[in-house]
Amino acid sequence: MKKNRKIKNLTNVKRKNKTEWAGLLFILPSLVGVSIFVLVPFLDVIRRSFTEAISGTWVGIDNYKTIFTNTAFQLAAGNTLRFVAVCIPLLIVLSLIIAVFLHRQARFGSLLKSAFLVPMAIPVASVVLLWKLLFDNHGILNGFLDSIGMTTIDWMNSKYAFWVLVFSYVWKNLGYDIVLWVAGLSGISENVYEAARVDGAGEWKCFIKITIPNLLPSLFTIAVLSFLNSFKVFREAYLVAGDYPDKSMYLLQHLLNNWFRDLSLDKMAAAAVVNAFVIFVLIMLLQKAWDREE
Amino acid sequence: MKKLFTKIVGVSLSVLLIASALSGCAGGKDGADKNLNTKNTAAMGRYLEEEVKPPEGTKAILSMVKQTEGGIRIAVSDMKNKNSIWDSKDGGTTWTKAFDLPKEVEKVSLFNANIAISPTGEIAVVTEETGTEQSPLSYRYWTVGNDGKAQEFKIELPEMPEFQMEGGASAAGSQSVVIDDAAAKETGESEKLSETTESDKEVNLEGRISNGIGRMRFTKDGKLLAQDYMGVLYMIDIKTGELIYTFGGDDSNTNGAGYSGYIMGFQAVGNTLIVLTDSEVQLYDISTGKKMDKDKALNDQLIKSSNTGEDGAIIMGASGPFAADSGKDENSIFICNSDGMYSHAIGGNLVEQVINGALNSLGNPSFYLMDMAALDDGTFLVSGAEGQNIHKLYRYKYSKDAPATPSTEIKLYSINDCPELRQAIAIFQKQNPDMCVTLEVGVSGGDAVTVSDALRTLNTNILAGKGPDIMVLDGMPINSYMEKGLLADLSETLKNAGVDTQIFENIKKPYEKDKKIMALPIRFAIPLVQGKKEFVDDITNLDTFAAQVEKLKKENPSQKYILGEKDPKELVDLFYPESSPSWIKEDGTLEQAKLTEFYTSLKKLYDSEEHVDNGGVETMMVASASGGLSFSNYLNMSMGMWPLIDESAFLNAGILTSGFEFAYMNGVNKGLGDYTSKIMNGQSENVFIPITTMGISSKSANPEAASKFIGYLFSKEGQTINQGSGLPVNKEAFDVEMDLNDELVEDNVLSFKQKSGKEISVKIDRPNESELKVVKDWIGSLNTAALTDDVIKAAVEEQAQQCLTGEITAEQAAKSVIQKVNLYLSE
């Protein structure tokens, strides 16, 4: 009997190991690709962050010291953090509200969902053109302000440039997040709501006690994707305002782009390592929070 | 067993998939590199170029054609503009005079293109009769036989449409065009309108202009192919003057029907007429006049070889479109253009390069290709003009001992194209057949690549070990490259080339850091101001300049322009170089107060002039920008001298870039009386503008070869290559530059009548001792190189537009620039 149990345990361990190996095989092609195109080059970036750009001489942490005392880096990092801190909560909350509203719209729900996805289908070049037409000093928005007797604003060369960037990001990504939220909402059984309503729970109570807790798994995915998408806003910013936009919308990507133009590979490498580290920590924190909730 | 098989197949497929996905990452050098670097196994055999001496006393080669009976026949003109015909039976080694062109043909001036030689030796000549007020310019047509006797024949060409003056009105009154040959050669200006009537060459524009033959060639059976001034191509019987065929249109034989494009060039080879239009190559059967099937291979080659504009249309280059001659077989031809020499069989699928134009004079941008002859011994003769007035005859002879491609490659990179550099490359390669210099241009203008994009691509190549050996640093982050050790020290290079002492010390000095010279311009320009002595004397800096312009405007309210109409961009272009060095503070940031002063002065200058929407200036700026100069031609002093002469402006400000311009300026000052010129200071003093700044990459794969080329660029010979972009930094070459050619100074007197009725004459003469001393003193006083940083200039320009038009104040403009530029500087 004891022997049989032992054999059974051994078989289980074997099967478990076999399953793990099979899993590894599944991810192997993608792991090899990621290693070759991302991980190994990133190791080289880490190495370069401790050397001089052209000569390759070892300089220790000098490059890190340089970037942390560099005012352009401080400004760009600050702006990027500010942008993320403003945009992500704004986008998540706004998209959730609209998603809940759309989820309840039986008649026009899918039509409106598609409408919110339209900005994603517009090519960047067209978005940029639209942006220029709207926010230029002699653009449509200023034309409107002028026509109603208000003072015009140089949107792209003032502190408002940051908010133009925020608006652009939210406008473009709202539809995507709505779809993700709606997918999460569809997974919540209607029976739960009905049971709660029978017990006397109101709409707000249902939202707080049923909808939100059930959407927490989606929150992690949406937050990470929104965070990663926030880096893509640079395309529009660069195409509209070039290498040196107003300082309120001068992001880390601007700085890295300009450093590359000036062949400052050493500073770039150090900044990239710091950047990657911050992103990694943020995602780990998010994951930890999510795990705790689960 | 089946499971195992499935697993093996699965794993194999996965490995295959990964391997194929990664195969694209395989490194390796391209074909060109392989060719150039495999010295020991390199293929041997190449056509080498040698210069052939044309007949004694030749000033210009007018035409050259291979003769049916063997040998070649050439038409030349000598120093006295006497034209003669010569023969050579030994490929141009010796020449025998056949005859002088008879007096009937000599008595009027000949244009180079208006003479043709037939394969049997007959000559066709077009002469012109200068127009009078009663009758327009007319043309006469002659044939000259092998006996040297001329016989006139008549051609009935369709009449030209009525000439329209600008604005739509027909030409009338006493308006005439004064063609100033020398000025046109140097400055690129083609013609100037004058209200006076007497000058060197004068063409009456009243009413209708006569049609005439512009270019002509003979067919193998003695028929004349001629293109008239309306661009229509005819085949003419020279015995009767009959127009046998009119080529063009979709149907081959039409009466003046339009072509699908403008004819850039045409050649008769055997029984085939090759016509290069601005969009395609058309072939015609000469015996029937019928259009032949399209020769795709030839079409692709000639279209590819030509420069194409944004709309895909061919742009005529300096080297002319092409020349052609028949090969040994019926259908075989040789085609020559700036890309080289090609062999092709009409109707065939292959066009094979026989001679690479990049390795000899054919690729020289200043070489204007005229004729070619494929000789029976396998050599080629090519005639053409360098810079349009130095005529050359080259022989291309096959050498089996020369490597097929040069063993050493020097890679040169420039953001913008530079014709002078291309010319230097062509000459250097000719002198060094074992070296090949390739110029990569970052911003071609034909695509959407920006300077930043180009720099990022360059940096990627540098980091990948595929960077250039030499860089033209105009528009590049020079300081950043220096700090990172990307630029090698040029001191040794200059010393080894023996030119270190020949370079103006004060031009070199601003580039010396820690006894090293990392970058050095090959040319420079001097900012000058010109005007009445009493006006110019008060101008000492930008502030006093603006005050003087304001004062003159107040005293002369009816005067439309004081400095000439300048838009905000032009004003920044003009005053940025002399002012920007003063803006940089010790900590490397910009001084806002100085920048505010700059905008305030520019605003004063802008407000003192009347402004209209001037599309013309924009066009000029675009055109000059495509020429690749950092400081566009429209800033040249010569561009502002005409307003001084006709009293439409009181002051002229610009940059001095050539000896001719200096002579022209002196001539204007003398002609106008109490006029003078002096260095124009902005907010900084004694600033010069560096042009084409060179640097050698410390990562160069061929540092010795790169040094040799740089040495050549700074040598007297390399520095005398001048297309007007700037003054040479080599003192000896500078002396050559100031010692103007006879052609530029002989009888070069321009007469004008001013609005006040005063008649003045401007004589362009070689600078005398005292004038040379003046320009050398100016150069001796220069001690600051203008900033060539494109980022700062772009930010200043952007705000200037708004500030000068009154949308924002000078303070706001300066603040905005400071914010952007300080961000850039702090990076």
CB of B527 closer than 8 Å to CB of B653: yes
Alpha helix locations (H) across B162-282?
181-187
pLDDT tens, position by position, A136-151? 888 899 999 999 988 8
Summarize the confidence of residues A183-207 as an average pLDDT.
Answer: 90
Judge: B456–A260 Cβ closer than 8 Å, yes or no: yes
Residues in Cβ contact with B147 at an 8 Å cutoff, skipping those fewer than 6 apart: B99
Could you tell me which of B67, B85, B123 has the C-alpha nearest to residue B373?
B67
Residue of B530, B562, B824 lying closest to B675 (CA atoms): B530
* C-alpha to C-alpha distance for B339 and A70, rounded to whole angstroms: 50
| Beta pairing class for B512-513 and B516-517 | antiparallel
Q: Tell me: the pLDDT tens digits for B186-215?
A: 433 333 333 333 333 334 444 556 788 878
Higher pLDDT, B205 or B12: B12
pLDDT of residue B403: 80
Residues B191, B750: Cα–Cα separation, whole Å: 13
What is the nearest CA distance from B479 to chain A, expressed in angstroms? 9
Instruction: State the nearest Cα–Cα gap between A72 and chain B, in angstroms.
Output: 5
pLDDT, mean of residues B257-270:
71
For chain B, the straight-line distance linking the first and the last C-alpha, in angstroms and rounded, comes to 65
According to DSSP, the residues that pair with B227 across neighbouring strands are B215, B233
CB contact under 8 A, A72 and B826: yes
What is residue B237's three-state secondary structure?
A: coil
pLDDT score of B394: 92
Q: With bands split at pLDDT 50, 70 and 90, how would you rate the model's confidence at A291? A: confident
Determine the pLDDT at residue B208. Answer: 54
The three-class DSSP label of residue B710 is helix
Q: Which of A32, A72, A261 sits opposite B455 (nearest CB)?
A: A261
Minimum-distance CB partner of A265 among B18, B463, B485: B463
pLDDT at B33 over 60: no
- What are B759's strand-pairing partners? B753
**Core vs surface per residue B574-603: b (16+ CB within 10 A) or e:** bbbbbbbbbbbeeeeebbbebbbbbbbbbb
> Residues B280-296: pLDDT tens digits?
888 998 888 888 888 98
Cβ atoms of B247 and B273 closer than 8 Å? yes
Reply yes or no on whether the pLDDT at B745 is more than 60: yes
Q: How many interchain CB pairs under 8 A, A with B?
A: 71
The mean pLDDT value of chain A amounts to: 88
Best residue in A54, A63, A73, A247 to probe B by mutation, most B CBs within 10 Å?
A54
CB contacts under 8 A, A 81-140 vs B, are 137
CB atoms B795 and A244 under 8 Å? yes
Q: Which SS3 state, helix, strand or coil, does residue B418 take?
A: coil
Q: Does B480 touch chain A (CB under 8 A)?
A: yes
State how far the alpha carbon of B9 is from the alpha carbons of A13, A28, B12, B13, in Å. 27, 16, 5, 6
Least confident interval from A16-30, B240-254, B398-412, B678-692: B240-254
Residue B641 has pLDDT above 80, yes or no: yes
Say if residue B174's pLDDT is above 60. Answer: no
Average pLDDT rounded to a whole number, residues B789-807:
89
Task: Record the pTM.
Answer: 0.74
Distance separating alpha carbons of residues A164 and A142, to the nearest angstrom: 14
- Residue B3 and residue B331: Cα distance in Å, rounded? 67
Judge: A264–B827 Cβ closer than 8 Å, yes or no. Answer: yes
**What does the alpha-carbon distance between residue B485 and residue B488 come to, in Å, rounded to a whole number?**
7
Is A240 or B167 the better-scoring residue by pLDDT?
A240
Q: Write the DSSP assignment of A55-75 as a string of letters.
A: T--B-TTHHHHHHHH-HHHHH
B388 to chain A, closest Cα gap in Å: 40
Probe site for chain B from A243, A264, A265 (most B CB atoms < 10 A): A243
Chain B residues within an 8 Å CB radius of A29 = 14, 17-18
Phi then psi for residue B704, to 5 deg, are -70, -45
Chain A residues whose CB is inside 8 A of the B791 CB are 243-244
The distance of A75 to chain B (nearest Cα, Å) reads 9
Bigger pLDDT: B741 vs B460:
B460
Least Cα separation, residue B486 to chain A (angstroms): 7
Nearest to B7 by CA among A21, A15, A12: A21
A263 touches chain B (CB under 8 A): yes
Å between A243 CA and nearest CA of chain B: 8
The answer, for A53 touching chain B at a CB cutoff of 8 Å, is: yes
**pLDDT tens, position by position, B758-770:** 788 888 888 999 9
Q: What is the model's pLDDT at position B238?
A: 86
Residue B18 has its nearest CB partner, among A29, A55, A71, at A29
Asked if B480's CB is within 8 angstroms of A262's CB, the reply is yes
Q: Give chain A positions within 8 Å (CB) of B25.
A: 36
A270 touches chain B (CB under 8 A): no
The H helix count followed by the E strand count for chain A is 14, 0
Question: Would you say A247 and B819 are in contact if contact means Cβ atoms under 8 Å apart?
Answer: yes
Query: What torsion do the CA atoms of B369, B371, B377, B378 make, to the nearest 10 degrees?
Result: 40
Helices (H), ranges, B352-466 = 419-431, 451-463
Pairing of strands B123-129, B115-117: antiparallel
Measured CA distances, B312 to A22, B64, B396, B812 (Å)? 57, 32, 32, 43
The rounded percent of chain B whose pLDDT value lies above 70 is 80
pLDDT band per the 50, 70, 90 thresholds, residue B27: very low
The nearest alpha carbon in chain A to B480 belongs to A262
Residues linked to residue B796 through DSSP beta bridges, in sequence order: none
Distances (CA, A) of B326 to B219, B342, B572: 11, 12, 55
Between B153 and B214, whose confidence is greater? B153
B484 contact A CB<8A: yes
pLDDT value at B812 more than 70? yes
Q: Please tell me which residue of chain B has the smallest CA distance to A67.
A: B827
Pairing of strands B651-656, B784-785: unpaired
CA distance A250 to chain B (A): 9
pLDDT of residue B758: 79
What's the pLDDT score for residue A74? 95
Element housing B704 (H / E): helix B703-714
Whether residue B413 lies within 8 A of chain A, CB to CB, comes out as: no
User: Within 13 Å and on the Cβ side, how many CA atoms surround B223?
Assistant: 23
User: What value does the mean pLDDT take over residues B26-49?
Assistant: 57
Residue B812 touches chain A, beta carbons under 8 Å: no
The angle subtended at Cα A148 by Cα A143 and Cα A152, nearest 5°, is: 50
